[in-house]
Amino acid sequence: MARPKPFTLLPHTVPRRLTDPIVGVLARLGLSPNHLTLLGFAGNVGAGALAARGEFIAAGVLSLVASGLDLLDGALARATGRASAFGAVLDSTLDRLSEAALLGGLTFYFAQRGDREEVMLCFIAIVGSVMVSYVRARAENFGLDLREGLFTRPERVLVLSVGLIIDQTRIALWILAAVAGFTALQRLYVVWARFRRDPPPIDGARREERQP
């Protein structure tokens, strides 16, 4: 029996009829999937720098544009036959750093102003987003394809970017801090339920965990 489609608030793929024309142009320009990944990361670092200076609208717009490249690197990899294991790891790694860059910029801005509440919210949001990804990574180490999650990266990017643009950053941070943590717990529960029903072999995963 086929697995039910994982529930997410936002679609994590874009229809090919929308991406194919863009991907065709990018391929003709000679850009590789890793180029898009690096450009997206650079854009988010720039958004973090803008946020650190209090230029929230520009930071939000740049974050949306830069993170939008994340929707295209996979499509470009498939279209050009340049998908690779390293590219997938690079993409996942820079996704985490991209979120940290923007939230880090906000942390610096609020710390300079002495806004302790916002600084704490930024910290909790960073930890929550990392834990959402970490639970999935550990589950996949045991062979579980974990896609479920109420508030995964697309939702987090959208909420924070829109919050910056409409000058509701504090509310956006409260949402991120609360729901990212909930999503990590949600994924942990999904892992528990599936492993309880079908326990995986653990010897190989434990050996991997002991590696430096």
Asked if 149 contacts 101 with a C-beta cutoff of 8 angstroms, the reply is no
Instruction: Please state, in angstroms and rounded to a whole number, the distance separating the CA atoms of residues 110 and 79.
Output: 43
Q: What angle do CA 77, 89, 146 make, to 5 degrees?
A: 95
**Active-site residue (options: 70, 73, 91, 95):** 95
Instruction: Please state, in angstroms and rounded to a whole number, the distance separating the CA atoms of residues 73 and 76.
Output: 5
Task: Report the chain's C-alpha Rg in angstroms.
Answer: 18
Instruction: Please state, in angstroms and rounded to a whole number, the distance separating the CA atoms of residues 111 and 93.
Output: 26
Task: Reply yes or no on whether 95 is catalytic.
Answer: yes
In one-letter notation, the amino acid at residue 64 is: L
Query: How many angstroms separate the Cα of 123 from the Cα of each of 97, 108, 112?
Result: 14, 11, 15
Active site amino acids: 95
